[in-house]
Structure 1
């Protein structure tokens, strides 16, 4: 048989390829060890899209993407392709990329209102799973505006309001959806949940209001009692009440007392205690005793204003003395009590038989940070003499 003429050869070289294929193994064929890996490179069978599409590594994908983003197609076609792209990302739970795709689709400004409504609704879903509830609600609102009967958008809006704890608005979304689909199970369940949470929130608000009113009345009664006793209070820091350092209430300024609102007479944050008035109308103060010789302190959380200092000191320094008193000299008969005039720095010695109220009412005494404080020294001790030297000391009458 004569050899074929040159013009009769295959134009695409398929005959030559087939002859070569019989004797030479195909290098790019799948095998048992890598077929799954190679299969995953084929766009149709990919489980997940690569983070970045490199035309050299992923030529098929690059080609498909160029088709998707082909500007020669109509805005509707491009937006629909971007919607599908976003849906694929959404299925892969790559919500950030889904948002990007849906946003790109919306930017095409196509005239298909229903398509735009779907893009908004889908982007609302992606935002929802990213935790961007406010953005999700905005998209659901935009979708409903374009398509008022879009149940998915209405349901998403209701869910966002629930997450934002806006139960009243959630009920409005649910009611709007139930007017369209009165038997929708999801909307009915969501409405029942929103109504329950709304009732609970209203109940809690009422309780909080009653509690706040009670606390306000107690606070006003307490401040009035302090004012009646003529007790001076050192105001909190300027940042708290815009008062200058050392500004105090002399018992005659109702505005100053109102401004304090217990911040200036309560040490609850620091010590867990605060001045209070009992059922008999007696004040109980948190009181601090300072022992500068040993850098120690004692704290009495509720010192009744009618109690004397010796009553408490006899308990604190009774049979069992504190471990830091190694010389066993802190006995009640040996103790002297002082308070400091915060303005002049003078010390005033307190009669241990006096009541707390008697001392608090002294014109030289000022309650600082809601906690009256006193210095305790051992009479005649070397430390006492050294501590008092150079200081002006006066004994209260």
Structure 2
């Protein structure tokens, strides 16, 4: 009976103690509205560490950090702690800090297993930052320590894919599949690498064939120009003296064939058609009105009147208010800058005949001609004091 009375007293005391919680709130309890924020201030429950902290602002966290970086612990334990720290940063997507932790871990010990993981994890952090070469170097270092490490093999293949080194990606995949033949990730990476490799090889073949054709076309073009005796000049190249303008065989000299590389802003340039005719971009200048016309493809077997008849046919240009520039009323010249001479060209003349002339030089791949209205006051003034010869 005495024992039973004592038990009843104990129960009463416990009931009284519990009743206190109904009327008195715990002063240090978390607020129900911001308990998650409060939890995040406790080091063990933090989702992410503050960017900067010290022992005064976060003493508990500083204490945990000192435990992790305690140099008195065995090196393997220190490296493992830094690995875990790096993994936490990695989860927070703070890859730069993760790399720092993994790097510090690698300095701590020579344990091959831990170092393999640290290198592979650092490769992953570099990969997410876009540092593909650093990631590849770490994956290669991990593979050197442990050739069958799956994560290192996958990461190495992924880095090679990003760098578009598809042959190397295949080598990483093949090395991985030897020891992990059923790994789906490696199988997928290998299929993708093989597909890209084949596409790259196909594109390279097409580019080589295109380059070969372009080279062949250029050789044929230059041969056609040389056969016609056309003389090309770069824009900045001075004209040759008449005494220097012939080859040893007495024929017209062909100057600087690579002058074809200069072209008008329109993008037009001389080309050779399937029938063997050359088509030139030709510029017509009208100094009286400071105007010009541009024919992008003037066949060297065509005459000037073929184009002038179109340009000054039924509809005259708006700047010709006096209607003087009629096909039958035009004078055409090309200029020899070195001799300061104008050569008059009959509109019925073929372009080929003009370009063959030993004093006709083509600058920047574009023959140019001056057009005047015959007998006009401007024409007489323009020709005064100039040497004019007929073609």
Asked if 1:138 corresponds to 2:132, the answer is no
State the 1:154 CA deviation: 0.9
Moved more, 291-300 or 337-346: 337-346
1:327 aligned counterpart, secondary structure: coil
What's the counterpart of residue 320 of structure 2?
325
Contact 1:286 1:299 in 2 (8 A): yes
SS in 1 for 2:265: helix
Give TM-score scaled by structure 2 length. Answer: 0.84
Q: Which whole-Å CA distance do the structure 2 matches of 1:25 and 1:139 have between them? A: 53
Aligned residue among 238, 246, 270 for 2:265: 270
Is the CA contact 2:221–2:272 (under 8 Å) kept in the aligned structure 1? yes
Measured on the aligned residues, the alpha-carbon RMSD in Å equals: 2.8
Compared CA separation, residues 24 and 94, structure 1 to 2 (3 A): closer
When residues 64 and 362 of structure 1 are mapped into structure 2, their CA distance, relative to the original with a 3 A threshold, is same
Among 389, 394, 397, the alignment partner of 2:388 is 394
2:61 and 2:379 map into 1 onto residues whose CA distance is 89
**How big is the shift at 1:115?**
1.2
Structure 1 spans left out of the alignment, 5+ residues: 1-21, 238-244
Aligned to 1:58: 58
| Secondary structure of the structure 2 residue equivalent to 1:302 | strand
Q: Contact 2:303–2:347 at 8 Å: present in 1 too?
A: yes
Of structures 1 and 2, the larger Rg is shown by 2
Q: 1:318-357 residue pairs with structure 2 within 5 A? A: 318-357=313-352
Structure 2 partner of 1:36: 36
- 1:1-397 aligned within 5 A: 26=27, 29-108=29-108, 110-235=109-234, 245-246=237-238, 260=257, 264-266=259-261, 270-389=265-384, 392-397=386-391
Find the aligned partners of 1:257 and 1:190 in 2 and give their Cα distance. Answer: 57
CA distance in 1, matches of 2:226, 2:46: 80
Secondary structure of 1:83's aligned partner = helix
- Inter-partner Cα distance in structure 2 for 1:143 and 1:58: 36
Mapped to 1, the partners of 2:256 and 2:117 lie a distance apart of 56
Shift of 1:231: 0.6
Tell me if structure 1 keeps the 8 A contact 2:234–2:262: no
Structure 2 gaps, min length 5: 1-22
Aligned equivalents of 2:274 and 2:388: distance in 1? 36
Distance 2:255 2:201 in 1: 29
Task: Report SS of the residue matched to 2:352.
Answer: helix
What whole-Å deviation, never above 9, does each CA across 1:303-322 have from its counterpart, x for those lacking one? 00011111101101111112
Taking structure 1 as reference, are residues 252 and 186 closer, same or farther at Cα in structure 2, changes over 3 Å only? Answer: farther
Task: Indicate how the Cα distance of structure 1 residues 252 and 226 shifts in structure 2: closer, same or farther if over 3 A, else same.
Answer: farther
Q: Shift of residue 356 of structure 1?
A: 0.9
**Compared CA separation, residues 76 and 25, structure 1 to 2 (3 A):** closer
SS in 2 for 1:162: helix
Using the alignment, how far apart are the partners of 1:293 and 1:381 within structure 2? Answer: 10
Q: Matched residue pairs, number?
A: 362
Change (3 A) 1:98 1:393: farther
Paired with 1:178 and 1:269, the residues of 2 have a C-alpha distance of 57
- Please, what TM-score do these two structures have when normalized by structure 1? 0.83
> Distance between the aligned counterparts of 1:55 and 1:340, measured in 2?
88
Q: Does the CA-based 8 Å contact 1:275-1:286 persist in structure 2?
A: yes
Provide Cα deviations, 1:269-312, integer angstroms capped at 9, x if missing partner: 72222211112211111111222333332211110001111110
Q: Per-residue displacement from partner, 1:109-163 (whole Å, max 9, x unpaired)?
A: x110121111111111111111111111111111111111111111111111111
